[in-house]
Every structure is written in C-alpha cells, then in structure tokens.
Amino acid sequence: MDMKVNKKLGLKERYNLMTRDLAWTPTYQAVKDVFPYTEYEGIKIHDWDKFEDPFRMTMDAYWKYQAEKERKLYAIMDAFTQNNGHLGVSDARYINTLKLFLTGVSPLEYMAHRGFAHVGRQLAGAGPRVACLMQSLDEIRHAQTQIHSLSNYNKHYNGFNNWRHQHDRVWYLSVPKSFFDDAISAGPFEYMIAIGFAFEYVLTNLLFVPFISGAAYNGDMGAMAFGFSAQSDESRHMTLGLEIIKFILEQDPDNLPIVQRWIDKWFWRGYRVLTLVAMMMDYMLPKRVMSWKEAWEIYAEENGGALFADLARYGIKVPKGWAQACADKEHLSHQAWNVFYNYGAAAPFHTWAPSEKDMEWLSQKYPDTFDKYYRPLWEHYAAEQKEGKRFYNTTLPMLCQTCQIPMFFTEHGDPSKVAYRESTYHGMKYHTCSDGCKEIFDNEPEKYVQSWLPVHQIYQGNCFTPEANPGAPDFNPLAEVLKWYRMEMGRDNLDFEGSQDQKNFAAWRAQASGN
Amino acid sequence: MAVASVGKYEFAPKDTADKFPAPLLYIGWEDHLMLCAPFCVPLPPVMKFGDMVNGALPGMYGAHPDFAKIDWTKAEWSKSGQPWKPDFEKSLAENGLGHKDVIRFRTPGLTGIKGSFH
Amino acid sequence: MSNVFIAFQKNEDSRAIVEAICEDNPQASVNEQPAMVRVDVPGRMVIKRSSIEERLGRSFDLQEMQIHLITLTGHIDETDDEFVLEWRH
C-alpha cells in the first residue's frame, strides 16, 4: 500500500499554526478587561489577523540560531580576553566610546526588554504579541552580552564600574533615560511607533553602525562581535517596526494623524539622543569610520528618504524636524563635543581637544563649517592646555525641558545663535531647545513638567549622599555631586592627557611588545 | 492638549520655586558659544543687578578672553528674547526677574575667538 | 527607484550568500567594509535558497542567514525558498 504523504506546509502556514492560531478570544472575561490599553490612544484596529509576521521563526528555529550566535560570540569574547585584545585597540582614547556606550545605551536595552514584554502582553493581536515577546528576549540578551563584553574592559580601565548607578543620576544620562521613560509610559501603540518604528527602524543604523564599525576600525574585536551579534536580532526588530506601522495605517484612515504626530515626536526625540553618537564618530574614534555628516547622508537622507517615499502612499509625511536635522549635520558633532569638553569634570569618561591631524580630517569632512566656526575654538583650548589652563566649566547649564540636553543647539540657519524656545504652563515658564522639543512639550505638558532635570535636582539638594553636610563651611557642592555619582575625581573624569587610563595603556602596551 | 491616559493624569511639576534655595535665572552670552550653553543659577531676588554682573558673572564667564573686554555700558540685554533694559541699581526682583526667567546679553564688537562666535 | 540593501558579517558562509545575491540580481552592487559586506539593489532583491546551496555545497535553510545578518532595509517576504526585500513606491 502506498503511504500518502501530504505536501509539507509552507513557512508562512507553519508559522501561523504555531503562533497566532494557538490564540483564542477570551469569553469568560470581556476582551476590554483582558486588554485594557488597546483603545485609549484612539488607534482603531478592526482585524488583527491582517498583521503579517515578517520573520517567521518558530521556537525551534529561534533557539537554534540564537544558540549558534551565542556560541560564536562567547568564543570571540574568550579569545579577545585571553589575547589581551584590549591592547590591540588603536589608541586608549577609543576606550572612552565604550564607557559612553555602557552608560548610555546598555540600560536602554534592558528597558526595551521591559517595554516589549509589556506591549507583548497588552496588544490584542496574537501575531504582534509573539513578535514583541521575541524582541523582549532579544533585548535582555543584548543587555547581558554588552555587560559581559564590556566587563573585560572594566578589569583594566576606569569609568566602567558604576554604569548602572550612574544611568539614574548623571546629567548626560538623563537624556537616554528620559527618552525611554517617555516611551514606556506611553500606550502600547505609541510605544511601538516610538521604539519599534522610529528608533529601531528609522534611526537604528545611525546608532549601531557607527559604534560597531568604530569598533572594527579601531581593533576592538570584542565590541565588534557583540555589535554584529546584536544587529542580527535587530533586523527582526526593524521588520517588526516597519510591519506594525504599515498594519496600523492600513487598518483605519483615522489612525493616520495620530501616527504622524508620533512619528514627528519620536523622530525628534530619537534624533536628539543620537547627539552622543555624532560626537563619538567625529571626536572620539582615533580611527574614524566616516563623519556624522556622511552617516546622516547615507542612513537618514538616503535610507530614510526611501522609507518615507514608501510610506507616502498612506499619507505619511517626512517627520517635521527632518529639514533641521539635515541642516544640523554640519554642526551637531562639534557643538556636542564642546559640551563634554566644557563639563569634562562631571562625566565618567575622558575628553580631549582634537589634535592637528584630527582637525585636518575634520576640515576635510566639513569644508563649509569646521574651519570657520570650530577650529578656532579647539586651537584656543589646546593653547590654554599647553599653559596648564585646561578649561573646565564650573557653572551648571540650562537644560531643555523635553530632551534634557544642555541648551547648546543653534538656530536652524544660524549656527552662531543659541536657539531658545519658551512655553508657559499653569503660570510657570518652561524652556526648550528647538521647535521640535517645544512642540513635544506643548502637546503633552503634563508629562514634561515632571522631567527630572539633573541641574535643577542638584540645586534642589537632591544629588548628595546621606553623609553630605550642606551646612558645613567647606561644603563643595560639585565635589559632593561627583561623590553621589560614584565618580572618582581625577581618575574617572577630566582630560585624557595625564589620565590613569593613558598611563596604564602605554605601560601595558610597552610590556606586551618588549621585555 | 491632554496626555492620553487610562485614568487621571495629574502630577505636580518638579520645579516649583519653593523647592529651590532661590529663584532660578537662566543667562546667556550671545555670540560666545565657547561657554556651550546658557547658564542656570539660583540668585537671591534682593541681589542688585549690578552686583550680579560684577560679582557673579566673572566666575561664570571669566575664562573667555573676551570677558575682560566687555564695556557693560554698551551691552544689549533681552528677556524672553525681547529687548530689555535692566537697571543695575535695582534688585533682580525689582527688575521684574522671577523664577525661571531667561535673559541674554550681547556685547557689540565682541564675536568670540577669532570671530568664530565661540 | 530607491535601493533596498542587506548587510552581513564577513565570513565564508556570507561570501556564498553575497555571490548568490549578485548572480540572481544583476543590478546588485557590493560595498566592502571592515568585517562587514553590504549589497544594494534598486527596488527589489531576491535571495534564493537554491543559489546559496549551490555555492555552499550543502543544504541551507534561509533562516540560517540570520546568524550572519547585520541589517537590512525594505519590506520583507520570507518563504522556504526565497527571501525578498522590496520597496513599493
């Protein structure tokens, strides 16, 4: 007798059977009670089955490929550690980019894990729920792989050991932290547009490619390996973001204005967080990959351009701040690095003025702006430093109420003028750095009046350890804030020149190549 | 426009005046981007404006080579972006400055290091 | 017409994938960088399992591509035999 063998199901059918087809609509409780957050944002979904899962990995495939990635990654990390790979980086200045990454980015991976776990519970459609829960797993994987990978540097260099404590307290870290707090306190649909789409699709390449390529160019195999390993998960995340926005827009035309407002808000908020990447690329990498301007042109203008051309058929327009972000590519990195140079005493990583060679590169990459606006500044600083007068700004800056960054941004069209925007809410003034941040404030003032602005909190006396005594005659508030930050003065902060990191790296490298 | 929420969404603002030792003042020096952002300082409302200029500003701005060259009689001031003339003999409060006000000064002829606005 | 692109870590397996893409997408252009290789195609890119298997000399599940994948752009359609990236404007 012939055995009848049915044709094997295709990938899509197999995947559906193992995921969305396992779900059912609750009947013992009202759907509204089981999914209490699905309607309050005003988004209308009529048919969740229309969501198309772009990556169709059932659990067996997921574990198989994730396990393979982990094996490869940890093998590289072991080899890197065993080989004293840290001594193979181009220059010890490079290591400060990793401090920036660990303090600023790794905590966001953890929060993304929480955010996607929440949304994976709250969305009423089975398809997106599964994709969100896979992403939640991926994100905690990223947090852990980054901690593992960077722990190797922590053994040898300063500024790594209090990243978790510092993320909640240090002035520049309230920028990424508040970004994610804003997203996770929004509803599930806004969260998906904010993180899934705006951050993980539109802007992700601007965060990860510079850091990972920076690692590759500067001999950091450890970071490069975790970067690439994370990025392969990111492709799934990107496609979830793109698919969810398509799905929402196709469900009901009433969703369009809501989604557009979120795109405008989250493009701008994400772009502001990327300020840190711009300065990293242009000023902190000894061997530079490309300029921020070039990265913006490829990943935002070209790539983002293609994306928004694609979404135009739904009525989506390019985000409101787009033109300004494009114009600012000439200025952002230089202005941002000046902030960290100014406040170099207050960050747990080193800063420095660019060398003459660095400035040649900057001149070449920014022919219209570097020599005119920024070279004189760096030359001045270098001259001062030579005379033992390295400049540190000791007065606290004004911060933007929305993005929480010091108000260094200049007017669109006039890079000599700081941009000031002002709003009044319930009788009190609030200040923002740009039209984008002002609009975000004005649309949801109840949210942003709650901003925990580091400068204001310091003045309120909330940034001291319990042992601090503000009444004491020799009370030094800035020193006390650093104690509260768990930053060691003279070791974790200040200029790279003369730092322990610099001395150690040089000594160890000499040992590794001599007797 | 309100925040979309599932329940009541009302929270106290973090930065009411009572929480600070003195009202906050934001102050910026136009055309001098070396000091990367305007400053935020709590100043006693009874402080004379002139005492602020002569007493507090040097510590804040003195590192800039242009600062020593400032002719305060020629400085142009603004408050909330509008032209404003402070009375150096009156206090901050008498000059109409309150919590979270923003003032700027421009020093004609001084445009930063090598005219770069820094 | 805007490009779709896909980028892989550089290794022996991704070398076969990139070659397969170039064979099946005549307008493909390859961009090599340290540790990374990126392939751009105007409008639509199709990655065929059979082409990859031919070059690797072993069976290959398209999902295995994810081990090497760094980033991509475009709408995805994934089946057992083909992985397609495309823009629809």
Judging contacts by C-beta atoms under 8 Å, the chain B residues touching residue A397 are: 36-40
Is the Cβ–Cβ distance between A205 and C71 less than 8 Å? yes
Q: What is the DSSP string of A8-41?
A: PPPHHHHHHHHTGGG----SSS-HHHHSTTSSTT
For C48, residues 6+ apart whose C-beta sits below 8 A from its C-beta are: C20, C24, C81, C82
DSSP letters for A395-459: SPBPB-TTT--BS-PEETTEEEEE--EEEEETTEEEEESSHHHHHHHHH-HHHHTT---HHHHHH
- Interchain proximity A238–C72, CB inside 8 Å: yes
What is residue A53's predicted lDDT score, i.e. its pLDDT?
85
> Contact at 8 Å (CB) between A421 and A438?
yes
Mean pLDDT of B63-83: 97
Note whether C80 and A304 are within 8 A (CB): no
The reply to whether A40 falls in a domain is: no
CATH number at residue A286: 1.10.620.20
pLDDT of residue A117: 98
Beta bridge partners of C72: C6
Domains of chain B, earliest start first = 21-115 (3.10.20.560)
Backbone φ, ψ for residue A70 (5° rounding): -65, -45
Asked if A376 has any chain C CB less than 8 Å from its own CB, the reply is no
The whole-angstrom separation of Cα A506 and Cα A498 is 11
Show which subunits contact B, needing at least 3 CB pairs below 8 angstroms: A
What is the ipTM score, two decimals?
0.98
Residues of A in contact with C63 (CB under 8 A): 57, 61, 65
Residue C89 is predicted with a pLDDT of 74
B85 class by beta-carbon count within 10 Å (0-12 exposed, 13-18 middle, 19+ buried): exposed
Please state, in angstroms and rounded to a whole number, the distance separating the CA atoms of residues A397 and A172.
11
Res. B1: pLDDT tops 60: no
Which pLDDT score is estimated for A55? Answer: 82
- Report the greatest alpha carbon distance in chain A: 99
Mean pLDDT over residues B3-14, rounded?
93
Q: Which of A335, A339, A452 sits opposite B14 (nearest CB)?
A: A452
Name which of C5, C66, C78 is nearest A232 (Cβ-Cβ).
C66
pLDDT tens column, A278-295? 999 999 999 999 999 999
Q: Which chains touch A (3 or more CB pairs under 8 A)?
A: B, C
The C-alpha of C23 sits at a distance from chain A's nearest C-alpha, in angstroms, of 23
Q: E-strand spans in A259-315?
A: none
Q: How far apart are CA A104 and CA A126, in angstroms?
A: 33
How many Å separate Cα A107 from the centre of its chain?
Answer: 9
Write out the two tokens for B95. Answer: 């000059």
**Whether the Cβ atoms of residue A337 and residue A353 lie closer than 8 Å to each other:** no
The total number of residues shown for chain C amounts to 89
Q: Is residue A32 part of a domain?
A: no
In whole angstroms, give the CA distance from residue A183 to residue A43: 17
| Distance in angstroms (rounded) separating the CA atoms of residues A112 and A191 | 10
Nearest to A288 by CA among A359, A340, A342, A205: A359
How much is the pLDDT for B106? 98
Domain hosting residue A69, numbered range: 57-512
Higher pLDDT among residues B98 and A221, named by residue: B98
Asked if A264 contacts A63 with a C-beta cutoff of 8 angstroms, the reply is no
Q: What is the pLDDT of residues A339-398, one digit of tens each?
A: 999 999 999 999 999 999 999 999 999 999 999 999 999 999 999 999 999 999 999 999
pLDDT for position A1: 60
Backbone angles phi, psi at A470, to 5 degrees: -60, -20
Residue A472 buriedness (CB in 10 A; 0-12 / 13-18 / 19+): exposed
- The single residue listed with the structure tokens 């990556």 is A55
| Phi, psi (deg, nearest 5) at residue A194 | -65, -55
Shortest alpha-carbon distance between residue B94 and chain A (Å): 19
* Residues A306 and C2 sit within 8 Å (Cβ to Cβ): yes
Helix (H) or strand (E) holding B76: strand B76-79
Q: Please name the residues in contact with A28: beta carbons below 8 A apart, sequence gap of 6 or more.
A: none
Q: What is the pLDDT of residues A128-166, one digit of tens each?
A: 999 999 999 999 999 999 999 999 999 999 999 999 999
Only one residue has tokens 């510590």, namely B59
Closest among A446, A201, A229 to A304, alpha carbons compared:
A201
User: Is A54 in Cβ contact with C71 (below 8 Å)?
Assistant: no
Per-residue pLDDT for chain A (515 aa), expressed as one digit of tens each?
667 777 888 888 999 999 999 999 999 999 999 999 999 999 999 999 999 887 888 999 999 999 999 999 999 999 999 989 999 999 999 999 999 999 999 999 999 999 999 999 999 999 999 999 999 999 999 999 999 999 999 999 999 999 999 999 999 999 999 999 999 999 999 999 999 999 998 898 898 888 888 999 999 988 888 888 888 898 899 889 999 999 999 999 999 999 999 999 999 999 999 999 999 999 999 999 999 999 999 999 998 888 999 999 999 999 999 999 999 999 999 999 999 999 999 999 999 999 999 999 999 999 999 999 999 999 999 999 999 999 999 999 999 999 999 999 999 999 999 999 999 999 999 999 999 999 999 999 999 999 999 999 999 999 999 999 988 999 999 999 999 999 999 999 999 999 999 999 999 999 988 88
Least confident of A224-233, B17-26, B75-84: A224-233
Residue with tokens 């990860």: A208
* Residue A29 Rama label (left phi>0; alpha psi -120 to 50; beta): beta
Nearest to C71 among A10, A235, A307 (CB): A235
Beta carbons of B102 and B80 less than 8 angstroms apart: yes
List the one residue out of C37, C43, C55 whose CA is nearest residue C89: C43
Res A190: pLDDT: 98
Res A2: pLDDT: 67
Q: How many CB atoms lie within 10 A of CB A83?
A: 11
Of the candidates A40, A397, A418, the beta carbon closest to that of B6 is on A40
Q: Give the other-Cβ count within 10 Å of A379's Cβ.
A: 17
Helix A174-184 vs helix A255-273: angle between axes, to the nearest 10 degrees? 160
Q: What is the DSSP letter of A124?
A: S
Say if A26 falls within a structural domain.
no
Domain count within chain A: 1
pTM given for the model: 0.95
- What pLDDT does residue A6 have? 76
Whole-angstrom distance, CA of residue C68 vs CA of residue C10: 8
Are A56 and C78 a contacting pair at CB < 8 A?
yes
Q: Which amino acid is at B89?
A: E
Q: Which of C69, C77, C89 sits opposite A310 (nearest CB)?
A: C89
Which backbone phi and psi does A476 adopt, to 5 degrees? -115, 100
Instruction: Please list every residue in chain A whose beta carbon sits closer than 8 Å to the beta carbon of residue B101.
Output: 429
What is the three-class DSSP state of C75? strand
User: Which residues 39-68 of B are in CB contact (within 8 Å) with A?
Assistant: 39-42, 59-60, 63, 65
Give the residue from chain A lying closest to C87, CA to CA.
Answer: A310
The superfamily in CATH containing domain C3-86 is: Monooxygenase component MmoB/DmpM (3.90.56.10)
CA distance C13 to chain A (A): 14
**A410 class by beta-carbon count within 10 Å (0-12 exposed, 13-18 middle, 19+ buried):** buried
Which A residues in the span 165-224 are in contact with C, Cβ-Cβ below 8 Å? 204-205, 208-209, 212-213, 216-217, 224
Q: What gap in Å lies between CA A457 and CA B20, rounded to an integer? A: 9
Q: Under DSSP, is residue A63 helix (H, G, I), strand (E, B) or coil?
A: helix
What pLDDT score does A7 carry? 80
Any residues with CB less than 8 A from the CB of B64 and at least 6 apart, and which? B29, B32, B34, B35, B112
Backbone angles phi, psi at C8, to 5 degrees: -125, 155
Of B20, B36, B59, the CB nearest to A397: B36
